[in-house]
Amino acid sequence: MTAFRLDGLHTRPAQTWGTFRLVPLVRDEPVPWLRLHRKAYGDKPTVVDVGDGSFYTSYFIPHAFVATWQDGEAAASYGTRLLDKDTAGHAPPRVPVRMTRRMARRADRTRLRFLPLHLAVEGYLALHFGGPEIVWEEYSRRAVSRGLSPRAEEAYTGHLVQGLDDALRIFEIHDGQCGVLVYVADALASAFVVPHPDDYRALHATLVEDLFGELIYHYALLAAPAAPFPVRIDDTAVRSPADLWAQAALRRREWADFHDEVMAAGLFGQMSRYQSVQALHDFELTRFLPSFTPRRENHIGEVITDGDARVAYLKTFRLSETQTRRGYLLTRLAEYDWNLRATAAALGTDEAALALRLERAGFGYLLRQDVLDHFRAQARTPASGQRPATRRR
Q: Alpha-carbon distance 66 to 203, whole Å?
A: 12
pLDDT tens digits, 100-151: 445 555 556 677 777 778 888 888 988 888 889 888 999 999 998 888 888 8
- Does residue 328 have a pLDDT over 50? yes
pLDDT band at 204 (very low <50, low <70, confident <90, very high): very high
* Residues recorded for the chain: 393
**CA neighbours within 13 Å on the CB side: how many for 278?**
19
Residue 393: its pLDDT value, please?
40
Residue 315: its pLDDT value, please?
94
Q: Who contacts 386 (Cβ-Cβ below 8 Å, separation ≥6)?
A: none
Residue 108: its pLDDT value, please?
64
Q: Alpha-carbon distance 225 to 20, whole Å?
A: 7
CA distances from 387 to 347, 350, 352 (A): 26, 20, 20
Residue 44: its pLDDT value, please?
55
What pTM value is reported for the model? 0.79
pLDDT tens digits, 352-371: 999 999 999 999 999 999 99
Please state the domain extents for the chain: 2-69+96-321, 349-380
- Does residue 167 have a pLDDT over 50? yes
Percent of the chain with pLDDT over 70: 77
pLDDT band at 308 (very low <50, low <70, confident <90, very high): confident
Residue 78: its pLDDT value, please?
41
